[in-house]
Amino acid sequence: MTASRNLTRIMPVPAPQPPSGSETYFQDYPELLENLPYRKIDAVVDILWEAYQQDRTVFVFGNGGSAALASHSACDLGKGTVVNGNRRFRVFSLTDNIPLITAWANDQNFTDIFAEQLRGLVRADDVVLAISGSGNSKNVLTGLQVARDAGARTVGLTGFQGGQMKFLCDLCVVVPANNMQLIEDFHVSVTHSIFTNLRRRMTEAWGAGE
């Protein structure tokens, strides 16, 4: 009688599959997360917290996707930071008044749509938060210059190498990427991080109870 043998069946190793199209888009996320300028993001939180404590006004603006993010951020800061009846955050998005924007663009120049709004509103020690993926949007740069001339504190959120914006900002957060879509993705995350940290400080200051 032939003895039975235990034979190990060698299974073929499947060939590695190339990443799908959607997976390819996200492959740069880990490196970007590792290289975000976290200390500068924390410094933005400090600036906004100081503005809140001094009852200063924060103005936010940008173009295109950055315009949408300006509105989004103003909503987060204006409503999302309401904790236990605390004093409200004074924040305005300059991208929301379409009649005023188109009036300045039509009657004067599109480059001036933010600058002309700021001329009537911004005061010394207010905070101006400008968002631009490239850092070179002319109307954003013009708005920053008006803010600087008024003695406001200027903060930028941008990508690539920072563009001309970084020279007009007291503090400029540059997402280290050369892809506009990835830059915009991380701009949303950065602003959410800022908002979350401000809300935490307000909760601590006004007492827990959420």
pLDDT in tens, 167-178: 999 999 999 999
Q: Does the residue 52 lie in any domain?
A: yes
Q: How many CB atoms lie within 10 A of CB 132?
A: 28
Q: Residue 20 domain-assigned?
A: no
Residue 123 in domain: yes
Domain membership flag for residue 40: yes
Look at residue 196 and tell me if it is in a domain. Answer: yes
Query: How many domains would you assign to the chain?
Result: 1
At 86 the pLDDT is 85
Quickly state the pLDDT bin for 210 (edges 50, 70, 90).
very low
What is the token pair recorded at 72?
């989004």
Q: Is the predicted pLDDT of residue 93 greater than 60, yes or no?
A: yes
Kindly report, residue by residue over 50-82, the tens digit of the pLDDT.
999 999 999 999 999 999 999 999 999 999 999
| Residue 6 within a domain | no
Domain of 169, in residue numbers = 36-203
Q: What is the CATH number of the domain that holds 156?
A: 3.40.50.10490
Share of the chain above pLDDT 90, in %: 81
Q: What is the pLDDT of residues 106-146, one digit of tens each?
A: 999 999 999 999 999 999 999 999 999 999 999 999 999 99
Nearest to 184 by CA among 94, 65, 35: 65
Q: What's the sign of the alpha-carbon dihedral 82, 183, 174, 121?
A: negative
Decide if 26 is inside a domain: no
23 domain-assigned: no
CA–CA gap between residue 166 and residue 159 (Å, rounded): 10
